[in-house]
Amino acid sequence: MSIRLTPAASNSRTKQYLATKTTLQAIKRPIVVDQDCCFCFPNCDWDLPAFAFLSDSTNTYKNDRTDFIVNVPLNGTVEATLIQLDPDNNVLQSISIVNDTYGLLFPIGTIKSNVWGFILDWYKVADVESLGRWKLNLVVKNSAGLEMFNQDSACFHLRAWTCQMAHRTVKIKTEQSGYFEGGFDYTNINFTIEQPNGKVKVSNSWPQEIRLYGRFFREGRDFEIDNIVTEDRGQQLIQSKTVKRYLLKLDTIPTSISNRLVDDMLQAPEIYLNDYQINAIELYDSVRVTLTELPDPENFTQNINEFMDIRFAEWKQNNVHRFK
């Protein structure tokens, strides 16, 4: 039996954790991965946080979702299995995803030709099943029944929402559209989705969401001012403008997660950030931002994870002062 040490929150880049490794029993099988597949998580080498707010299923700030989307060969099939694990990665139960019991299922061709999608709703998992450790296995087969793709998602540690448990986590949400020349094609996506508040939304983009350990906060403001010089050499204000700058600090992120984050999610035209610090100076709930700087990540010897500092600016930069 292996012993797994999982911090209740991020290690906050403290040096005593830099050489710590998590020992897990995981079976990795040879797979052939479609390069256009957007499903790229590791096999249980790190537990990602996930929360369910058991008293209100419509609260999008406290309830989490996880998206999965894959290309499928012509006349191919997809088998999705939700798997519950114990602390030693032994399987407790396996549940086939065949309807919307555990989220929003989009069978092949529903949102786009030869595309299958699923938005896992962690509130539904907690409500129908239980809290604990979960992962999703996806198998894609061609028309002859041969496996083209077989992979597990990351392990998610599903907990009941509390401010203390969610402390030092952030949630990144995007609406992805367009296409990647070397990756997934999100163009021509079209589907109807029911929001947690009961409203129906027609969407032409794919909703992405992930919760990670880290912090998101306002780093400062950029100030722009336009003056004219008066006859007596005074500086007469004509126009001024402030733009908020934000910093996203991510801790202990496996490269399989950071690669997807940088190469896909953060290139979306719509990016929203949520922060969950108990002692934060402001509440950041679905703050829309635009990416401005993506420095190289920090990594250390004998540590399989990396740290990232990502900078944004507010999306709507309309705090402009003028005179009529």
pLDDT: which is higher, 186 or 37: 186
User: What number of H helices and E strands is found in the chain?
Assistant: 3, 19
Task: Identify the weakest region by mean pLDDT among 194-198, 290-294, 308-312.
Answer: 194-198
Q: Is the pLDDT of residue 301 over 60?
A: yes
CB–CB of 119/110 below 8 Å? Answer: no
At 78, is the pLDDT very low, low, confident or very high (cuts 50, 70, 90)? very high
pTM of the complete model beyond 0.75: yes
DSSP secondary structure, 251-302, as one string: EEEEHHHHHHHHHTGGGSSEEEEEE--TT-SS--SSEEEEEEE-PPPEE-TT
Residue 196 has a pLDDT of 66
Using DSSP, state whether 165 is helix, strand or coil: helix
Instruction: Please check whether residue 193 lies inside any domain of the structure.
Output: yes
Q: Provide the domain limits for residue 186.
A: 31-321
Q: Is the pLDDT of residue 110 over 90?
A: yes
Alpha carbons 250 and 305: distance in angstroms, whole number: 11
Q: Is the pLDDT of residue 40 over 70?
A: no
Instruction: Please check whether residue 273 lies inside any domain of the structure.
Output: yes
| Total length of the chain | 324
Count Cα atoms within 13 angstroms, Cβ side, for 69. Answer: 25
Cα dist from 231 to 55, 236, 286, 322, whole Å: 66, 10, 48, 21
**Average pLDDT of span 240-258:** 90
- Please write the tens of the pLDDT for every residue from 229-239: 999 999 999 99
Q: How many domains does the chain have?
A: 1
Instruction: Please check whether residue 24 lies inside any domain of the structure.
Output: no
Instruction: Please check whether residue 14 lies inside any domain of the structure.
Output: no
Q: Is the pLDDT of residue 246 over 70?
A: yes
Phi/psi of residue 265, nearest 5 degrees: -60, -50
Residue 61 has a pLDDT of 95
At 29, is the pLDDT very low, low, confident or very high (cuts 50, 70, 90)? very low
- CB neighbour list of residue 188: distance below 8 Å, 6 or more residues apart: 112
Instruction: Please check whether residue 41 lies inside any domain of the structure.
Output: yes
Integer Rg of the chain from CA: 22
- CB neighbour list of residue 228: distance below 8 Å, 6 or more residues apart: 235, 236, 238
Q: Is the pLDDT of residue 118 over 90?
A: yes
Residue 169 has a pLDDT of 96
Q: Is the pLDDT of residue 157 over 80?
A: yes
**Average pLDDT of span 5-13:** 45
Instruction: Please check whether residue 132 lies inside any domain of the structure.
Output: yes
Residue 34 has a pLDDT of 42
Q: Is the pLDDT of residue 30 over 70?
A: no
Residue 12 has a pLDDT of 45
Q: Is the pLDDT of residue 309 over 50?
A: yes
Instruction: Please check whether residue 17 lies inside any domain of the structure.
Output: no
Q: Is the pLDDT of residue 15 over 80?
A: no
Residue 45 has a pLDDT of 57
pLDDT: which is higher, 288 or 203: 288
pLDDT: which is higher, 149 or 36: 149
Burial label for 299, CB within 10 Å (0-12, 13-18, 19+), is middle
Q: Is the pLDDT of residue 306 over 50?
A: yes
Residue 300 has a pLDDT of 75
* Average pLDDT taken over every residue of the chain: 86
Alpha carbons 132 and 97: distance in angstroms, whole number: 18
**Average pLDDT of span 302-316:** 89
pLDDT: which is higher, 254 or 311: 311
Residue 305 has a pLDDT of 79
pLDDT: which is higher, 83 or 231: 83
